[in-house]
Structure 1
Amino acid sequence: MSALRLVVFDVDGTLVDSQRTILESMRRAFEAVGVTQPTREDVLGIVGLSLDVAMAELAPDAPRETHHALADAYKSAYVDRRAREGTKLSSPFFPGARDTLMSLAAREDLLLGVATGKSRRGLDKLIAGHGLEGVFVTEQVADFHPSKPHPAMLEAALAETGVQAQEAVMIGDTSFDMDMARAAGIRGIGVGWGYHDAARLSAADRIIERFDDLPAALDDIWRRDT
C-alpha cells in the first residue's frame, strides 16, 4: 500500500464557480460564428468536456470546421472576460474551497492534483490568479489527453505520483468526473454545488454538500480500507 494518497480535483464547478464566465463566453462564441444559441442547461451540461467535444455536443448538426471556429471564439471571449474582471471575479472559489484546499495541502499524507477540461494556459492563469502555485503536484489538462470521461488524465496522475488507484480519490461535480474515476479504478466524491444534478452522479461513491465535509469524507473512505 502506498505511503501517500492522492486527491484529484476537477476545477470548474468544483473548486471555482466560473458559470457566469462560461455562459457569457458561449453566448458570444455562438453569436460570433452565427450558430443557434444553446440553452443554459445544455451549456452547463457539457462543462468539463474538452472544447472540441463540447462544441460537437452543443452544435451536433454543424460541420467540424464550425466546431473549431466556435472553440476559438469561446477561448477569445473567455480570455477577454478574465482580462476585464481578473481571475478572482471571473472564476471565484466556491465557499470553503480555498480553506479546505490549503488544509489538505498541509497534510503530510496527501498529494493534491487537478484533472480538468481546461487548457494548460487556462489552468496556469487560474492557478496564478488565485495564488495556488505549488499546491498541486500533478496537473492534467485537455491539451494532452482525450476528453473526460476517458481515464487518461487520472492514469497519468497516478503514474506521475506513484500512487496506487486504491489510494486515490477524484473530486468533481459532473458525471464525466465520476465516470472517469470509475474507469480508472479510482473512487469518486461528487459535489452537490456544481453544474450537474446529484441524480447524474450515480458513479460517485458518495456526494457531499459542503466543502467543509470533504476532509471527513476522505478519511472515512480510507478508514474503511483498514
Structure 2
Amino acid sequence: MNRLAVFDCDGTLVDSGANIASALADTFVEHGLDVPPLHVSRKVIGLSLVEAMAALLPDAEHDQHRALAESYKRHFQRARHEGRVDEPLFEGIPELLDALEVDGWLLAVATGKSDRGLAHCLDCHGYNQRFISLQTADRHPSKPHPSMVHQAMADAGAAPETTVVIGDTAFDMAMAVAAGATGIGAAWGYHDAAELVEAGAAAVADEPLGVLPLLPRVHERLCG
C-alpha cells in the first residue's frame, strides 16, 4: 500500500486566520450580531461553514446558520476580488512537502474550504498539481467525519494503517481517528497541543519541519 500524508489547509498549510476572522466579522455585522472574539472564532476554523456557524450560535435555527454561511462566502469572495485575501504558506511547509515526496509519500488535502476556495489558494502558490487528492466541504460532511480521508485513501491507493493526517485542529485529529489513520498535530495553527492530543493526535509538531522526526515513530505504528 502507498503511504499517504493528508494535510488540512487553513492553519496547517497556510496562515489564513486573519482573512477568516475578517469575513466572519463582516458577516455578523451584516446580520446585526455581536462579532465573536478572535479566540472563539479561531476554534471553529476547520469546520464546514454551516457547522462553524452552528458552533458559534448554537441557539439559532438551522436556516440562520445557512444564511450566515452564504453571507460569509460573499464577504470572503468580495475580499478576494478586491485583493484583500492573503494566505501565505507557513514557514517550512515547502520544505516539508519536498521531504515527504522525496521519501515516497503521496500528498493530499482535506479541508473545510470549498473546491473554489482551495483551488484559489493552491494556485496562488503553484501547488494545484502537487496533491494526488483534493477533498473539500463541497463533497463531504464536515470534519470530524472521516469521509474526506476515506476518499483520499481511495484516490491514493493507501490504507488507514499507511496514512497520516496532519492538521492543526481537534477536528482534524478526530477525523484521523475515525478513519483509522494516524493523526499528527500541527501546533503552529489554531488549536493548542493539549487539544490536539485530547482529540487523538499520536504526536504533535511545533513547526512544519518538526513533522519529519516524528515519522519514524509513526512508521512503527504503520508497519505494525
Aligned structure 1 segments of 4 or more residues deviating by more than 4 angstroms: none
The offset of 1:223, in angstroms, is 4.3
Normalised by the size of structure 2, how large is the TM-score? 0.93
- In 1, the alpha carbon distance for the partners of 2:22 and 2:195 equals 24
Task: Tell me the residue number matched to 2:90.
Answer: 94
Alignment of structure 1 residues 70-219 onto 2, 5 Å: 70-85=68-83, 90-107=86-103, 109-201=104-196, 202=198, 203-219=200-216
- In 2, the alpha carbon distance for the partners of 1:218 and 1:180 equals 19
> Among the aligned pairs, what percent are the same residue?
43
RMSD: 1.5
Out of 30, 41, 46, which is 1:43 matched to?
41
The offset of 1:78, in angstroms, is 1.3
- In 1, the alpha carbon distance for the partners of 2:82 and 2:51 equals 27
Runs (5+) with no aligned partner, structure 2: none
Task: Tell me the residue number matched to 1:59.
Answer: 57
Alignment of structure 1 residues 6-17 onto 2, 5 Å: 6-17=4-15
User: Judging changes above 3 Å, is the alpha-carbon distance between structure 1 residues 150 and 91 closer, same or farther for their aligned structure 2 residues?
Assistant: same
Normalised by the size of structure 1, how large is the TM-score? 0.92
Q: Is 1:31 paired with 2:29?
A: yes
Give the letter for the 1:169 counterpart: V
Q: Is 1:221 paired with 2:221?
A: no
The offset of 1:48, in angstroms, is 0.5
**SS at the partner of 1:35?**
coil
Q: Is the 8 A contact 1:8 1:171 kept in 2?
A: yes
Out of 20, 23, 27, which is 1:22 matched to?
20
